[in-house]
Amino acid sequence: MIAAFAPATVSNVSCGFDVLGFALDAPGDLVIAEPSSEPGVVIRAIEGDGGRLSRDVGKNTAGAAVAALLQHLQAARGVALTIQKGLPLESGIGSSGASAVAAVVAVNELLGRPASSAVLLACAMQGEVAGCGAAHPDNVAPSLLGGFVLARQVSPPDVVRLPVPEGLACALLHPHLRVNTGESRALLGDMVPLKDAVRQWGNLGALVAALYTSDRALLARSMVDLVAEPKRAGLVPGFYTVKQAALDAGALGASLSGSGPSIFALTATVADAERVGAAMQVAFGAISDVGSDLHVSLVGRAGARVVSLP
């Protein structure tokens, strides 16, 4: 019996819409894999999802990801999965991707690690397609690999691991709202003004340079999203107020996490993230009766990992 943990991720990192994500250290999802007498995959149990996730292997991201892995390895083994959701669904922090990643990492360990990271990434993405209808490496890649990951290309996936400046941390506010990913994407439209696109890739290039040079001032200047944030801000009542509260409290930058509703802020230290996160939660609470959770974490370098069961 092997357990693996895969962390939450922030994707669409400001100017890095659809290409840049990073992992937290925690929270995340845990998947326990054990041999099963019947060939293929079964989902033994899912905890923490309020009964909302499908137990049908073909419709569950973790199940489908493991099925893809077994098929890739031509393994005739049977595997039973127990999924412990630590991440809320549809929160914009990579919940479905984390389950898929934890599942393939656990099963790969159970089988003696036959698969490379590239194979695990491809299988986790297949799991997301089955569970969510679409896959993008900007959630599963950082959850698997840790740190910042740039998805240069989706198919076939070509991902680039980027360095994490020492101490860089994240405050993540999860308002208890539902945002439908498809509707959130539809808000963006199909076309973007060229002048905005140019500024977006200028900022993204600068953000990548800032990660390599640990230039926190440049990181802050480059965290400008002209494409997604202006269209999606209305999904979260009080978004701009929360963002301003984060910046006023010392955040390097802040934006929507994934397609929302969560809001992330990057900070130079964990202490900054504690202060920034508290300010974000207070600001949101002053505007909305909707509850919220706050997570504070270093940007997670480790990514998914096998863990001991208690």
Q: Which residues bind a second copy (CB under 8 A)?
A: 15-20, 150-153, 158, 160, 162, 188-195, 197-209, 212, 218, 221-222, 227
- Closest separation between CB of residue 201 and a second copy, Å? 4
Based on the number of CB atoms within 10 Å of its own CB, is 40 exposed (0-12), middle (13-18) or buried (19 or more)?
middle
Q: Which secondary structure element, helix H or strand E, spans residue 34, and what is its range?
A: strand 16-36
The catalytic position among 181, 241, 269, 274 is: 181
Structure tokens at 54: 């499908």
Whole-number Å distance between alpha carbons of 277 and 42: 39
Judged by beta carbon, residue 88 or residue 147, the one nearer a second copy is 147
Can 128 be counted among the known catalytic residues? yes
* Active-site choice (82, 90, 128, 267): 128
Round to the nearest angstrom and report the end-to-end CA distance of the chain.
Answer: 12
Query: Shortest distance, CB of residue 147 to a second copy, whole angstroms?
Result: 12
Q: Which is nearer to a second copy, 212 or 240 (CB)?
A: 212
Instruction: Give the residue with the Cβ less far from a second copy, 188 or 302.
Output: 188
Closest CA to 145 of 87, 185, 94: 94
* Nearest distance from C-beta of residue 205 to a second copy, angstroms: 5
- Alpha-carbon gap, residue 25 to 70, rounded angstroms: 28
Q: How far is CA 9 from CA 12, 23, 127, 183, 299, in A?
A: 10, 4, 17, 21, 9
Active site residue 9: no
Q: How far is the CB of 162 from a second copy (least distance, A)?
A: 6
The residues carrying an active-site annotation are 128, 181
